[in-house]
Structure 1
Amino acid sequence: MVAQAQPVRQVQHVEMPTGTLTLTSEAGPFAADSLLGFAARANVKRGFLFLSKALGKHWPVRPALMQRVHGVLAASVPPGLPGPVVFIAMAETAVGLGQGVFEAWLAANPDREGLFIHTSRYRVGNAPLIEFAEAHSHAPRQFLHLPDDPAMRAMLQGARSLVLVDDEASTGNTFLNLVAACRTLSLDVAHVHLCTITNFMGAEATAALSGRFGLPVTMGAALNGSYTFAAGEMAEAAPAQRFDPDAERGASPCFGRMGLRSALADPSALAERLAAQVGACERVLVLGTGEFMHPSFMLGRALEQRGVDVMVQSTTRSPILTWGAVGHALSFPDNYGEGIANFIYNVAPGQYEHVFICHETPAGDALHQLARSLHARLFHFQSETRIEEIPVC
């Protein structure tokens, strides 16, 4: 039997409560349906969401698929980029993705040095930070800290190549805003590479990136295409950001906000202990919280390697309607203490026999409330090697 060729282009028309989305996607290493679904957002700036099925944010994902995507995007980084090479991941959605891509790049290029850092919506310590805008977001203010460590700060300020990682690209504006903010540090950048799971800017806009940035720009994506959106009536949700520069939010400096030059250590001892407590036919969810995503992936991967049936996901501040790829929504107070609603999507109480919540903040009322609602256990990651289980009360 002769295998039929995959269609070169797929066109989808999606009628949403907030408008009509028309998406054209090109054939690639992944089928479009395996990478994304569609959701409607309570956001007058943008009423739709390309909901990733490979990110581990709004949809439960097997760690093996996440790791495969990390590898594909890391392989898209052009060889021989001038160093220092600095990877920057966009909060909150792409923090874990960016860290996974960085670690995959390090593994594939053991002779190269690189720096990973992610943006944040929280201040950590007294380190200087620069600000830029994610204009279409419900929480538009983004911050990038300058590392306290002199060697890492020198790498950032001496960066010759930037690898910017986000879950999707639709206009390129946020990347452009970040590069403009980085230029305030007098960076002499020679090349920018963009890594996204989906790139829906279209071929013409993608080809025009170098002109917009004023330097060579390349793009690596697991899925490419273009879109149009005809907006309908949309109701605005409550604000999803209340930044207080003097507030202590419990955001950790240990996991990427202040820079990392190597991969995080696997939580092997914790995974070994938890795997022994999971029955043969029991399902496990490892749940990250807000910007704290990559350690939950690493715990999920370690459990999967031990034969556990495990999914990885994370909570979010993004308000999404219960429609389309979002079948269930649970709201709870945010564990960073901003006083805004946080959400977990496509997870219902009782869906998993075991839920392990990974968090960087102290376990206050918000996390205990979430744990009780999901019959979950709390694991406070105070460093790579210091992980404390918090009794749920």
Structure 2
Amino acid sequence: MTIMAQQSSPEMSTKIRQQLPTGLLSVAVHEQLFSLDSLMGFAARANLKRGFLFLSKVLGKHWPVRPSLMKEIHEALAAQIAADLPEPVVFIAMAETAVGLGQGVFEAYQRMHPEKSVLFIHTTRYHVADYELIEFEEAHSHAPRQFIHMPKDAAMKNKIMQAQSLVMVDDEASTGNTFLNLKNAFQQFNPNIKRLHLSTITNFMGQERNNSLSARFGLEVTIGSALTGEYEFQQGEYQVPHVAAQAFQAAADRGASTEFGRVGMERELVLDESQVSALAMALPAGAKILVLGTGEFMHPAYSLGIALEARGLDVRVQSTTRSPIMQWGDVSSILQFADNYGEGISNFVYNVADRQYGQVFLCHETPVNAALLEIARQTGADLIHFTKEAHFEKISLC
């Protein structure tokens, strides 16, 4: 990817009008660290709340991405976060889409500032064991209810309760409402936050909202992104299929793990190098590899992908998602299946054609079940079951 000089004057803005099946989207890009085409494309959501999607080509969610490119984005966003944030600093990544991005930005910031007292946690749409939940809303989402688990580990809980700075990470910002809802929920149990930094790949809130963030949030707010601009969407008339988005049941065990960020992490995710080497050595020469995460379980797939790429392999990373998107624009193909968390929610993989890859690894935290076997069948994948960060089990189905 080629880094470009930032654009800052209105005369230099890139203006795009895109007719979607769901309406007319008008975009003005004011500043960018990377070229627009390399960062994002456009897609149509099958969602009456929001009929468009800024489809990220660097996130590793709806589009297959080289893990080294994902790392470059993590580092670019981490470099925009102030080094003098008062400690402890808590990083919060937004589920489902930005879980991997947030953990990557956290790890990059920690590498840049190893002396800082930091903690990473991600929001979730599942309840793990008997952990205390804090709830807030992502109003425009297909699945609006979001939760944070309060850590039981004394040191991590102390960091959350005494945090003076928050870094909230999402893939894009369009209104800032979700960030504000999360900030308000967090302050119910920690009212002492002094600084807030918002980190996004694309920031489409517009100049007026950006300038008023501190006044709107009631504390000092900064924002960093790879691209800034604004948009207008004129929604058209369209029909979407009824697809259940969320079936939250507090007592239900969905197989969601406590090992990978839901209840806090204080350091970089580290895989077992011997296991990664064994996996790499078994791959055919020249194979094109897809490492596929499942839902919120994204960052271990990235970690495995970048470890394989470091060994000279041709790797892409992506994840399944519960977000329904139309086959149009930058979505060329759709695979659909039941979710492996047992909610009865349809999940999807976009832009993965039949037998496009020589090897697919499907990374998951839940026990092997019928849904995982169906995803593996449709993608031709071997299962990679992560039980702990330093241990995974490869399950070949053929």
TM-score, structure 2 length as denominator? 0.96
Letter in 1 for 2:167: V
What is the aligned length?
Answer: 390
* Secondary structure class of the residue paired with 1:302: helix
Q: Does 1:137 align with 2:141?
A: yes
Instruction: For 2:316 and 2:5, locate their aligned partners in 1 and report how far apart those are by CA, in whole Å.
Output: 31
User: Deviation per CA, 1:236-262, whole angstroms, max 9, x where unpaired?
Assistant: 431211101110000000000000011
Residue of structure 2 equivalent to 1:224? 228
Do the aligned residues in 2 keep the contact of 1:30 with 1:222 (CA within 8 Å)? yes
User: Deviation per CA, 1:335-361, whole angstroms, max 9, x where unpaired?
Assistant: 000001000000022000100010000
Task: Give the CA RMSD over aligned residues.
Answer: 1.3
Q: Does 1:285 align with 2:290?
A: yes
Residue of structure 2 equivalent to 1:102? 106
Q: Does 1:345 align with 2:337?
A: no
User: Deviation per CA, 1:62-106, whole angstroms, max 9, x where unpaired?
Assistant: 011100000011111112111110000000000000000000000
Q: Does 1:56 align with 2:56?
A: no
Map 1:76-225 onto structure 2 (within 5 A).
76-225=80-229
* Secondary structure class of the residue paired with 1:102: helix
Letter in 1 for 2:368: A
Do the aligned residues in 1 keep the contact of 2:23 with 2:234 (CA within 8 Å)? yes
Map 1:301-312 onto structure 2 (within 5 A).
301-312=306-317
Instruction: For 1:234 and 1:258, locate their aligned partners in 2 and report how far apart those are by CA, in whole Å.
Output: 40
Do the aligned residues in 2 keep the contact of 1:157 with 1:185 (CA within 8 Å)? yes
TM-score, structure 1 length as denominator? 0.97
Instruction: For 1:371 and 1:81, locate their aligned partners in 2 and report how far apart those are by CA, in whole Å.
Output: 44
Residue of structure 2 equivalent to 1:360? 365
Do the aligned residues in 2 keep the contact of 1:128 with 1:146 (CA within 8 Å)? yes
* Secondary structure class of the residue paired with 2:226: strand
Map 1:257-272 onto structure 2 (within 5 A).
257-272=262-277
* Secondary structure class of the residue paired with 1:382: strand
Residue of structure 1 equivalent to 2:330? 325
Instruction: For 1:140 and 1:235, locate their aligned partners in 2 and report how far apart those are by CA, in whole Å.
Output: 20
Letter in 1 for 2:171: D
Q: Does 1:251 align with 2:256?
A: yes
Q: Does 1:44 align with 2:25?
A: no
* Secondary structure class of the residue paired with 1:59: coil
5+ residue gaps, structure 1, are none
The farther-off stretch of 233-242 and 346-355 is 233-242
The farther-off stretch of 334-343 and 275-284 is 275-284
Q: CA deviation at 1:319?
A: 0.3
Instruction: For 1:192 and 1:16, locate their aligned partners in 2 and report how far apart those are by CA, in whole Å.
Output: 35
* Secondary structure class of the residue paired with 2:388: coil
5+ residue gaps, structure 2, are none
Instruction: For 2:395 and 2:288, locate their aligned partners in 1 and report how far apart those are by CA, in whole Å.
Output: 21
Do the aligned residues in 1 keep the contact of 2:122 with 2:148 (CA within 8 Å)? yes
* Secondary structure class of the residue paired with 2:179: helix
Q: CA deviation at 1:270?
A: 2.6
Q: Does 1:334 align with 2:335?
A: no
Letter in 2 for 1:191: R
Instruction: For 2:5 and 2:142, locate their aligned partners in 1 and report how far apart those are by CA, in whole Å.
Output: 41
Q: CA deviation at 1:5?
A: 8.2
Q: CA deviation at 1:28?
A: 2.2
| Partner of residue 240 from structure 1, selected from 227, 238, 245 | 245
Q: Does 1:24 align with 2:31?
A: no
Instruction: For 2:74 and 2:192, locate their aligned partners in 1 and report how far apart those are by CA, in whole Å.
Output: 27
Letter in 2 for 1:307: G
Q: CA deviation at 1:201?
A: 0.4
Q: CA deviation at 1:187?
A: 2.9
Instruction: For 1:113 and 1:356, locate their aligned partners in 2 and report how far apart those are by CA, in whole Å.
Output: 34
Q: CA deviation at 1:269?
A: 2.1
Q: CA deviation at 1:386?
A: 1.8
Do the aligned residues in 2 keep the contact of 1:43 with 1:235 (CA within 8 Å)? no
User: Deviation per CA, 1:262-296, whole angstroms, max 9, x where unpaired?
Assistant: 11113422321222222332200000000000010
Residue of structure 1 equivalent to 2:72? 68
Do the aligned residues in 2 keep the contact of 1:267 with 1:298 (CA within 8 Å)? no
Do the aligned residues in 2 keep the contact of 1:158 with 1:187 (CA within 8 Å)? no
Do the aligned residues in 1 keep the contact of 2:58 with 2:70 (CA within 8 Å)? yes
Do the aligned residues in 2 keep the contact of 1:278 with 1:308 (CA within 8 Å)? no
* Secondary structure class of the residue paired with 2:106: helix
